[in-house]
Amino acid sequence: MIFHGRIYIWLGRAIFAAVFLYMPCVALCQQVEIKTQKDVYSRDEKIAFTFNNTLPMSVFTVVASSSPELGLSNIERKASIGWDALPLRCRRPSCKEDYTIPAAQEVKPGTSVTFSWLASIYDNGRYVRPEPGTYRVAVLYQVKKSKDSSLWNWTTVRSNVFTLE
């Protein structure tokens, strides 16, 4: 009987270790975040964001550059099912405007970058304020894994949900 008790204890520990060690990274690993400073903004108010790096290494992102708004890859509006990505700017070939994205800048471990952005989307040939609703933004960042920048991996991080009134 004692022998069976030890097997159950051992089996319980093995199952716990397997679940803990193989738990999806989403639950444990996201250590770069972007958050708004408030949950509700008016449509004509600048949205203040903080990009926070708690990884033990530097990350590189355009939101740390002199043009942080160009580091936003998407603004997404809550839909009845899922999220709809809205265009932030006019894209070539239909536009002649040059949206040269600046080089990604370093955000050192344990540091944050704060910036603000007046929300606008490109709709029917012009820039407009998004309709009232629930939104989030997506930002790209990368971790330098070698001297060859073509080997760097881009990762997307999404902000918390916020409301535009």
pLDDT tens across 40-69, in order?
999 999 999 999 999 998 999 999 998 898
Q: What is the per-residue pLDDT for 160? A: 97
| Beta strands, E only, the chain | 32-36, 40-41, 46-53, 59-61, 72-78, 83-86, 105-107, 111-118, 121-123, 126-128, 133-143, 153-158, 162-164
pLDDT of residue 146: 67
Average pLDDT, the chain: 82
Instruction: Give pTM, 2 decimals.
Output: 0.76
Reported confidence tier of residue 143, pLDDT bands at 50, 70, 90: confident
Q: Using only C-alpha atoms, what is the Rg of the chain?
A: 21
Beta bridge partners of 49: 36, 115
pLDDT digits 0-9 by tens, 67-82 = 898 899 999 999 999 9
> 103 pLDDT exceeds 80?
yes
